[in-house]
Structure 1
Amino acid sequence: MSDCLFCKIARKEISSAIVYEDELVVAFRDINPVAPVHILIVPKVHVENIADLGEEHRELAGHLLLKAREIAEKEGISESGYRLVSNCRKDGGQEIYHLHFHLIGGRPLGKFA
């Protein structure tokens, strides 16, 4: 999608604080962090949300999770713990309709309802 915010970031049309990038994903710091470490991990291909992942995305889905683990290690939060969240659609709290994971850590996090 040409007007998608995360597609524009992946294409470098909008600058961001990138912490990791490869041929499949880009990871950058959230502009409104909820914790000391708050990084968005975004596939470069446009997929609206986790519910839209299909068999053709099998490699991408695994890659996203493995990169989240690696970024958590690099950020120094893997030992103390972190949260990995992907909001899906309106009732799930999704605001930007491009699949992404929030990697959140660096402080104790409360429990979900």
Structure 2
Amino acid sequence: MTGEPQADCLFCKIVSGDIPATVVRETDTTVAFRDISPQAPTHVLVIPKAHYPDAGSLAAAEPQIAADVLREAAAVAAGDKVDGTGYRIIFNTGSGAGQTVFHAHAHVLGGRGLNWPPG
């Protein structure tokens, strides 16, 4: 949980450019890219460049970078013009919650009705 890149992490490889992604935004601390299996017209992942396994560990170690992820999620929504109609920011934490890549990331979903509860 040091924030250092992990050799076996898919998202660390996207950050380094070793794996291609459709990047929509990038800052000094974050990368936002389109999900390869979108669940809504807008489905973008916003990740910190630093590796932390989940949102809680990121927030504990790097609260400013956690805030950067949220700020970029809002910028993604504005860029895709779903900020006026509504969007969802989701952090899945743990395999039981559906997390499959253990690098903190936010899903930004919008562009269609998003009923609650999800599913």
Residue aligning to 1:2: 7
Residue 46 of structure 2: SS of its match in structure 1?
Answer: strand
Q: Give the one of 15, 19, 26 matched to 2:24.
A: 19
Other-structure match for 2:35: 30
Amino acid at match of 2:16: R
- Whether 2:117 is the aligned partner of 1:108: answer no
Q: Secondary structure at the match of 1:62?
A: helix
Structure 2 letter corresponding to 1:41: V
Normalising by structure 1, what TM-score? 0.95
The equivalent position to 2:71 in structure 1, one of 66, 70, 85, is 66
CA RMSD of the aligned region, Å? 1.1
Structure 2 gap segments, 5+ residues each: 1-5
Aligned 8 A contact 2:59 2:65 in 1? no
Where does residue 44 of structure 1 map in the other structure?
49
Paired residues of 2:59 and 2:66 also in contact (CA < 8 A): no
The one-letter amino acid of 1:29's match is R
Deviations 1:26-57 (A, max 9, x none): 00000000011000001110000012135431
In the alignment, the residues of structure 2 paired with residue 42 and residue 16 of structure 1 have an alpha-carbon distance, to the nearest angstrom, of: 12
SS of the aligned residue for 2:62 comes to helix
Q: Give the Å deviation of 1:91.
A: 1.7
Letter in 1 for 2:116: K
Report percent identity of matched pairs.
37
- TM-score under structure 2 length normalisation: 0.90
